[in-house]
Structure 1
Amino acid sequence: MCIWGVRIAWHTEGDGEFFCPGCGGDRNYRLRTGKSRLVVLGVPVLSRGPAGAVIECGVCERRFGPEALDEPTSSRFSAMLRDAVHTVALAVLTAGGAGSRHARETALEAVHDAGFSDCTEAQLVGLLAALAADEGRLPGAYDPLSGPLDGCGTWLSVELHEALAPLTRHLAPQGRERLLLQGAWIALADGPYLPAEREALAAVGRSLMLPAEDTERLLEAAARTPS
């Protein structure tokens, strides 16, 4: 018979959805906080203070630290990847490929593969025109179907950082390289890299936290690969 011991009384503070590292999938969770109590003969007699907070899976009932919520759910990860590909495609087209039908089609294919299946070429061109019309982000007038634009402006750095930085730490190195290569294939669809396209792709590499030498190696390899 256990005469004394320590028990934790758990209280549910909230709930939601998370990616359970135990189940390996998206699950409902309960955020629970606990208080330790000294128990004698089954009777709580003395509080021993808080026991901290845990994330309890609603399926396997395993408990994890609050950092488990930092991992995106599968649906959230898919959305982040979709937005990243879309932003990279727009950045490369803005830097010089928007006037090429082949480049636009290559960008549209990448966007579709990433999950934006209902995105049309007209919508893509409309977004480029909207970027050009935003005087706070792009300098001067720009026809998205007739001319390139400097690819290393402040707007590009901000947009790429916002789209890629949250995703980068959840991607394996091969995944980050794949994103850069998708941008490279769009840039190469209408011929060799333009200087602005090179700058845009370098900005993509920085946002993906790829070493500069790796970015250069990947861009050169893509340029040598027959389309």
Structure 2
Amino acid sequence: MRSARKTRDRNRVLCGIRTSWNTVGDGEFFCEQCGGDRNYRRRTGRRRFAVLGVPLLPRGQAGPVVECAACHTHFGTEVLAHPTTSRFSGLLRDAVHTVALAVLAAGGTSSRAALDSAVTAVRAAGYADCTALQLVDMVEGLAADTGRYLPDATGGGAALAIELHEALEPLSPHLAAAGRESILLDGARIALADGPYTPAEVEVLGTVGTALALCADDTARLLATARTVG
């Protein structure tokens, strides 16, 4: 029996399928095996039946695969859809910033409490140097840009619908429900800092919920929760 095993092992060494890999691209990705951002090589290959290490008969194509340059693990190319850690941080930072601007644009920038709440949220998201003056200037700049600033039906507020969808939709698939809800709650706290929601603020926060792939019932629940939580 031991001799039979040795024979099988020898046969595996003498013959088998070998893959010759060719690199067709590279970049940076989030490696699940390493648990962080790593360089990768995008590779395609050709399979051949080999005897004594010599490739003989073709056995079809291999890949494409994404190979981590650090651990050499092979992944399907769909792994590249997952943002790198730095890209994810940037998406999250921009999302919170855009929500804050949209809510301020809808409710106005005259309230110091609302501005302070917006600054707190934006700084916590990663813009450590954000100031109330910067936010006011940006809201005023958006108001002057008719291509981006979308007035609501009553003319009393604003809905940055295009910017909200552009900032939130790429992020939403990579956030758990709790993360998406947290962004909406940040906006709700800004809106409530100077009193009850205005119709324009509710409209903007509804757009935020939609862009975050939250259903209307969940959005309404979260806005009500924010109203009762100090």
TM over 0.5: yes
Evaluate the alpha carbon distance shift between residue 90 and residue 66 of structure 1 in structure 2; reply closer, same or farther with a 3 A threshold.
same
Q: 2:168 aligns with which of 164, 167, 189?
A: 164
Aligned counterparts of 1:136 and 1:18: Cα–Cα separation in 2: 34
Residue in 2 that maps onto 1:212: 216
**Unpaired stretches in structure 2, ≥5 consecutive residues:** 1-9
Bigger-Rg structure (1/2) = 2
Aligned counterparts of 2:53 and 2:167: Cα–Cα separation in 1: 54
Post-superposition Cα deviations, 1:100-141, rounded to whole Å, max 9, x if no partner, equal 11101110110000001122222111111110111223368x
Residue in 1 that maps onto 2:186: 182
Q: Is residue 32 of structure 1 aligned with residue 43 of structure 2?
A: yes
Aligned counterparts of 1:59 and 1:159: Cα–Cα separation in 2: 37
Post-superposition Cα deviations, 1:136-171, rounded to whole Å, max 9, x if no partner, equal 23368xxxxxxx84334xxx2211110000000000
Evaluate the alpha carbon distance shift between residue 180 and residue 139 of structure 1 in structure 2; reply closer, same or farther with a 3 A threshold.
closer
What SS class does the counterpart of residue 170 from structure 2 fall into? helix
Aligned residue type for 1:37: R
Aligned residue type for 1:22: Q
Contact 1:97–1:187 at 8 Å: present in 2 too?
Answer: no
What SS class does the counterpart of residue 48 from structure 1 fall into? strand
Higher deviation after alignment, 129-138 or 78-87 = 129-138
Q: Is residue 18 of structure 1 aligned with residue 32 of structure 2?
A: no
Aligned counterparts of 2:53 and 2:180: Cα–Cα separation in 1: 55
Q: Summarize the alignment of residues 110-189 of structure 1 with structure 2, pairs less than 5 Å apart.
A: 110-138=121-149, 149-152=156-159, 156-189=160-193
TM-score by length of 2: 0.89
Aligned counterparts of 1:76 and 1:165: Cα–Cα separation in 2: 14
Aligned counterparts of 2:30 and 2:213: Cα–Cα separation in 1: 24
Contact 2:45–2:61 at 8 Å: present in 1 too?
Answer: yes
How far residue 39 of structure 1 moved from its aligned partner, in angstroms, is: 1.3
Post-superposition Cα deviations, 1:179-200, rounded to whole Å, max 9, x if no partner, equal 0000000000000000100111
Aligned counterparts of 2:33 and 2:96: Cα–Cα separation in 1: 30
RMSD, matched Cα: 1.5
Aligned length in residues: 216
**Unpaired stretches in structure 1, ≥5 consecutive residues:** 141-147
How far residue 4 of structure 1 moved from its aligned partner, in angstroms, is: 3.0
Residue in 2 that maps onto 1:144: none
Residue in 1 that maps onto 2:66: 55
What SS class does the counterpart of residue 15 from structure 1 fall into? strand
How far residue 46 of structure 1 moved from its aligned partner, in angstroms, is: 2.2
Percent of matched pairs sharing the same residue = 58
Contact 1:7–1:39 at 8 Å: present in 2 too?
Answer: yes
Aligned counterparts of 1:204 and 1:183: Cα–Cα separation in 2: 8
Q: Is residue 68 of structure 1 aligned with residue 72 of structure 2?
A: no
